């Protein structure tokens, strides 16, 4: 199997479309930490990438825009003061929907080829996510305190030319919260809208989700992750962990992927569940068993209209952090694979991914120099690669 | 219930929510406050990296951290920091970088909880120790840290030379 894998790597190296682009100044701290890892989006041949970096001495958010064939991103700053977790989704035509958190709370705006437009403020909160599709409209979600607990909120965004108007914020779960909810992740397609989030109502962290077929009426939340709830032997603990859901629409379906600690001795593994009817099929481990003994981090998911689904993450199975991917095939998830630019002695991590309709994988990531400190300065890179044959 | 009692109950609830599952009775504080306190007091840091609902954290809290001698040792000689391994709260690293509590786990290579990270007062990592540990284990780690042995030996070398 390793031989086949090497052949695949060689083919992938030949087929790579272009050398990676260094998106922002190097030697500072870059973060791709959007809730749901939606830092990268494609619309009408345009590429949008959002990130946070420390070039000014404190965390600030940036938007990079480029046409598909261009080799540099035009850069625009977002927000006021310290800014975190910018997120982006395709809106319509060549436009994008943005959100970020700054000193004034959660903000959202539209960006076109000329950059971001006027923003609207949604109030205090953290970890925003956005998604849009012409059929189901534009949506934003975030978590904000509600009494003792953090609670996930969502709102529909009405697009009025170049401006946004926010509908009334609704709790993702109408029932009174009994513990924290956080890290919402949204995906939209012509088949509906999916909102997933971390939920601690069972005394440990699990993944919940709610769906809407039309962007107006939402189903009651249901649990998606099967990480066990309940005390361990000798009346210990309350259950294993699951965190940082990432979601994607692919074809007529949706996928949710997350980090799951049901095997609590070897760190988080990558699990995923696919929509089935109004609910979800049973979740499965999406990574292959070569990654079982080590921890996986930073799971991202991307799909496209023709039905491709890709899940990405980083792990250290080959000695240093590399970016690994798996693709959904008719027989289940493929063996994990990587590409030369995404692996090797440097530390490649924090993937953000998007798939175009031609089957190209657009990928941004954080890279630290080989042999450097795990907290050392970074570079922010982007590339586009052909999706491997199934 | 008078206003003062209500306030105490409210603050107690807030602290439970903010700190998830640290062992009871210890002066654990949040990351940034603890880093600042350690620099000011020149004390080493014990960072307890725990997960909400974690069975082995529960086990070490009940079996080990319930020891009154250990409680005195850590409370008097260390700045105690609790980090929620899945938390979304933002913290500031010694180098100035801002990231979430959960992201700190990726940086520390935290594959299991609890993870105990001993650090200098300046936030330099001395040793990372995962899993259930006994009172005697922690007494050894304390000798390694406060005895300054980490400057000349790895933890394994120190424990092997006992």
Confidence of residue B7 (pLDDT cuts 50, 70, 90): very low
- Say yes or no: A379 contacts chain B, CB-CB below 8 A: no
Is A236 close to B58, i.e. CB distance below 8 A? yes
Q: Is some CB atom of chain B closer than 8 A to the CB atom of A234?
A: yes
Confidence of residue A17 (pLDDT cuts 50, 70, 90): low
| Spatial contact of A353 and A361, defined as CB atoms under 8 Å apart | yes
Q: Please list, in sequence order, all residues whose beta carbon lies within 8 angstroms of the beta carbon of residue B148, skipping any fewer than 6 positions away.
A: none
pLDDT score recorded for residue A8: 45
Do A297 and B106 make contact, defined as CB atoms within 8 angstroms? yes
**CATH code, B129:** 3.40.30.10
Measured N-to-C along each axis, helices B68-77 and B135-146 cross at an angle, to the nearest 10 degrees, of 20
Rounded to a whole number of angstroms, the distance from the CA of A331 to the nearest CA of chain B is: 30
Task: Tell me the chain A residues in contact with residue B102 when contact means C-beta distances shorter than 8 Å.
Answer: 243-244
Contact between chains at A204 and B110 (C-beta distance less than 8 A): no
Residue B158, C-beta contacts closer than 8 angstroms, at least 6 positions apart: B140, B143, B144, B149, B150
Q: Is A375's Cβ below 8 Å from some Cβ in B?
A: yes
Number of domains into which chain A is organized: 1
Residue B18 lies in a domain: no
Per-residue burial over A202-229, b = 16 or more CB atoms within 10 Å of its CB, e = otherwise = bbbbbbbbbbbeebeebeebebbbbbeb
For residue A387, give how far its alpha carbon lies from the nearest alpha carbon of chain B (Å).
Answer: 28
Closest Cα of chain A to B107: distance in Å? 6
What number of other Cβ atoms are within 10 A of residue B35's Cβ? 23
Instruction: Give the domain range for residue A247.
Output: 2-386
pLDDT digits (tens, 9 = 90+) for A138-178: 999 999 999 999 999 999 999 999 999 999 999 999 999 99
Q: Tens digits of per-residue pLDDT, A228-266?
A: 999 888 889 999 999 999 999 999 999 999 999 998 888
User: Band of the pLDDT at B20, cuts 50, 70, 90?
Assistant: low
Interchain contact, A241 vs B57, CB within 8 Å? no
Nearest to A295 among B56, B98, B111 (CB): B111
Q: Please, which residues bridge with residue B29 across strands?
A: B81
User: b/e for B98-109, b at 16 or more Cβ within 10 A?
Assistant: bbbbbbbbbebb
Q: What is the arithmetic mean of pLDDT over A55-62?
A: 96
A375 and B107 within 8 Å at the Cβ level: the answer is yes
Tally Cβ neighbours within 10 Å of residue A171. 15
Residue pointed to by tokens 């087929």? A15
Rounded-to-5 percentages of helix, strand, coil across chain A = 5, 55, 40
What pLDDT is stored for residue A13 in this prediction? Answer: 39
Q: Is the pLDDT of residue A214 over 50?
A: yes
Residue range A95-123: average pLDDT?
97
Band (pLDDT 50/70/90 cuts) for residue B16 is very low
Residue B21 lies in a domain: no
Residue among B21, B32, B111, B115 with most chain A CBs within 10 A, to mutate: B111
The domain total for chain B is: 1
Give ipTM to 2 decimals: 0.89
Q: What are phi and psi of A113, to 5 degrees?
A: -60, -20
Per-residue confidence (pLDDT) for residue B96, from 0 to 100: 85
pLDDT > 50? residue B18? no
CATH number at residue A369: 2.120.10.10
Task: Answer yes or no: do B107 and A143 touch at CB < 8 A.
Answer: no
Domain of B130 in residue numbering reads as 27-160
**Looking at the partner chain, which of B17, B88, B97 has a beta carbon nearest the beta carbon of A149?**
B17
Q: pLDDT value at position B21?
A: 82
């Amino acid at each position: 199997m390793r031989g086949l894998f090497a052949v695949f790597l060689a083919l992938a190296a030949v087929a790579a479309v272009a050398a990676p682009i260094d998106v922002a100044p190097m030697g500072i701290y870059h973060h791709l930490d959007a809730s749901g890892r939606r830092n990268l989006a494609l619309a009408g041949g345009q590429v949008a990438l959002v990130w946070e970096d420390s070039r000014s001495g404190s965390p600030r958010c940036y938007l990079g825009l480029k046409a598909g064939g261009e080799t540099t991103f035009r850069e625009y700053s977002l927000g006021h003061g310290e800014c975190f977790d910018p997120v982006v989704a395709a809106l319509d035509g060549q436009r994008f929907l943005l959100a970020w958190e700054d000193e004034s709370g959660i903000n959202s705006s539209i960006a076109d080829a000329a950059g971001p437009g006027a923003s609207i403020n949604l109030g205090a909160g953290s970890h925003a996510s956005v998604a849009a599709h012409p059929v189901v409209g534009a949506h934003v979600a975030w978590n904000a305190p509600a009494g003792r607990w953090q609670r996930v909120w969502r709102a529909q965004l009405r697009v009025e030319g170049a401006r946004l108007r926010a509908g009334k914020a609704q709790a993702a779960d109408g029932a009174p919260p009994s513990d924290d909810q956080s890290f919402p992740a949204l995906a939209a397609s012509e088949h509906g809208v999916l909102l997933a989030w971390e939920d601690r109502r069972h005394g440990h962290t699990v993944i919940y989700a709610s769906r809407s077929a039309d962007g107006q009426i939402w189903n009651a939340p249901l649990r998606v992750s099967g990480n066990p709830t309940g005390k361990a032997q000798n009346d210990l603990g309350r259950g294993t962990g699951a965190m940082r859901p990432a979601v994607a629409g692919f074809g007529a379906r949706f996928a949710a992927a997350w980090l799951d600690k049901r095997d609590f001795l070897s760190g988080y593994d990558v699990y995923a569940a696919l929509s089935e009817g109004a609910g979800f099929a049973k979740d499965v481990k999406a990574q292959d068993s070569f990654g079982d003994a080590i921890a996986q981090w930073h799971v991202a998911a991307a799909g496209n209209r023709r039905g491709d689904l890709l899940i990405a993450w980083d792990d250290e199975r080959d000695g240093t952090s590399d970016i690994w991917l798996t693709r959904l095939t008719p027989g289940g998830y493929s063996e994990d694979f990587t590409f030369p630019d995404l692996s090797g002695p440097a530390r490649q991590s924090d993937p953000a991914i998007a798939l175009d309709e031609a089957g190209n994988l657009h990928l941004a990531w954080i890279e630290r120099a080989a042999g450097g400190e795990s907290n050392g300065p970074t570079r922010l890179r982007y590339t586009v690669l052909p999706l491997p044959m199934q | 219930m008078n206003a003062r009692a209500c306030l105490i109950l409210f603050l107690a609830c807030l602290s439970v929510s903010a700190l998830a599952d640290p062992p009871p009775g210890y002066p654990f504080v949040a990351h940034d406050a603890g880093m600042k306190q350690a620099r000011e007091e020149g004390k080493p840091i014990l960072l307890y990296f725990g997960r909400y609902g974690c069975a082995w954290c529960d086990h070490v809290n009940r079996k080990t951290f319930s020891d009154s001698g250990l409680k005195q040792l850590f409370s008097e000689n260390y700045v105690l920091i609790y980090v929620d391994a899945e938390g979304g709260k933002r913290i500031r690293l010694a180098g100035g970088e801002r990231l979430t509590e959960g992201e700190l786990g990726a940086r520390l290579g935290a594959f299991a909880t609890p993870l105990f990270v001993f650090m200098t007062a300046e936030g330099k990592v001395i040793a990372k120790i995962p899993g259930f540990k006994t009172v005697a284990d922690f007494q050894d780690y304390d000798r390694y840290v406060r005895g300054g042995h980490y400057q000349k030996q790895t933890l394994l070398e120190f424990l092997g030379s006992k």
